[in-house]
Amino acid sequence: MDDRTLDFYVLDAVHEGDGCVTQRDISERICRSLCSVNFALRLLAAKGYIKIIGTNSRRLHYHITPSGIIHKSILAYNFVKRQSGLYEQVRRDFLGKLIGLKAGGVNTVSFYGWTPLTESAILQVILEGIEPKTIYVRTREILNQWNRIPLQPISAYKPDSDVLVLMEVLPEGWDERIETGKIICYPVA
């Protein structure tokens, strides 16, 4: 966890606790050592983002300041901005793998896994003129989310298409059941 991430989580914990959170609470919540939380709190207080009230070190109260709330928002915004750029790059690279499948003789595709990219991948193959046959998923909890393409548990897999697009890692033992030439892998492993 880099310093910006640690700062965000500490500010968030102090904001939610508003005077009722201890260093130990924060440490347990963000899975960091008490020492690193103590250091982060002191540094954030020195910058004016947190106000520490109390004289007994065992009964300190932490309050986020207005500038701390602004700083927390800036940290969150910058995180989302960095991650969205990475997401777009991964999305573009993966969808690029799907372009040209039709020219390679692929007319039907099935998918395994429901991820944030699955819907984009389905739309891309439709744009390529390829018919999506089935979406296979690990569990039944997301079945019936997609009404035009049948959703099936992976246990019901049958080779019903030219290729299987892996949106997530197959359950153990399943990679032997599918011909490797029929798999297009999303970079998940």
C-alpha span between 6 and 9 (Å, rounded): 5
pLDDT value of residue 47: 94
Inter-residue contact 68 to 49 (CB < 8 Å): yes
Structure tokens at 95: 């969808």
pLDDT over threshold 50, residue 111: yes
pLDDT value of residue 179: 64
Q: What is the reported pTM?
A: 0.57
Taking all residues of the chain, what is their mean pLDDT, rounded to a whole number? 82
Q: Which of 96, 109, 90 is nearest to 163 (CA)?
A: 109
Return the SS3 of 17: helix
* Domains observed in the chain: 3-84 (1.10.10.10), 99-185 (3.40.50.720)
Q: Which of 134, 138, 177 is nearest to 155 (CA)?
A: 138
pLDDT over threshold 50, residue 189: no
Which percentage of the chain shows pLDDT scores above 90?
Answer: 23
Which residues is 165 bridged to in the sheet? Answer: 111, 184
Return the SS3 of 114: coil
The mean pLDDT value for 16-30 works out to 86
pLDDT tens-digit map of 54-78: 877 778 888 999 999 999 999 999 9
Q: What angle do CA 189, 134, 142 make, to 5 degrees?
A: 70
- Which range is least confidently modeled, 25-39, 83-97, 105-119, 169-183? 169-183
pLDDT value of residue 73: 94
pLDDT over threshold 70, residue 24: yes
Structure tokens at 106: 């692929």
The mean pLDDT value for 143-161 works out to 73
- Which range is least confidently modeled, 116-120, 121-125, 153-157, 172-176? 172-176
The mean pLDDT value for 19-33 works out to 87
Q: Would you place residue 17 in the very low, low, confident or very high pLDDT band (cuts 50, 70, 90)?
A: confident
pLDDT over threshold 60, residue 2: no
C-alpha span between 42 and 132 (Å, rounded): 55
Which percentage of the chain shows pLDDT scores above 70?
Answer: 87
Residue 13, CB-side half-sphere exposure with 13 Å CA sphere: 24
pLDDT value of residue 123: 87
